[in-house]
Amino acid sequence: YEVGPEVAEPFRSAFGAGVARDGSLDLPAAAERALAAAGCERIERVDLCTACHPQLFFSHRRDRGHTGRQGVLAAVV
């Protein structure tokens, strides 16, 4: 999603240029890089856009401030 340089630069510094390009931030890529750096060898990613699937996800930006809650399930096995 779109961010300003004051947000992009810390992500670029921490995770590399690929996570912050052209005014956009790739949070899944940042998370994958953080997990890999922590030693996770198998990372599965579900590429579903929260803004593109209103029946599945809340999106603060898409819904202009109307929010809900979402959760994440993670396991180390």
Rounded to two decimals, what is the model's pTM?
0.71
pLDDT tens digits, 1-21: 788 999 999 999 999 988 998
Q: Mean of the pLDDT values across residues 29-51?
A: 90
Average confidence score pLDDT of the chain: 87
Report H helices in 1-77. Answer: 5-15, 27-37
Q: Between vectors from CA 13 to CA 9 and to CA 15, what angle results, nearest 5°?
A: 110
Domain ranges of the chain: 5-37
Residue 48 pLDDT: 87
Q: Grade residue 29 by pLDDT with cuts at 50, 70 and 90.
A: very high
pLDDT of residue 58 exceeding 80: yes
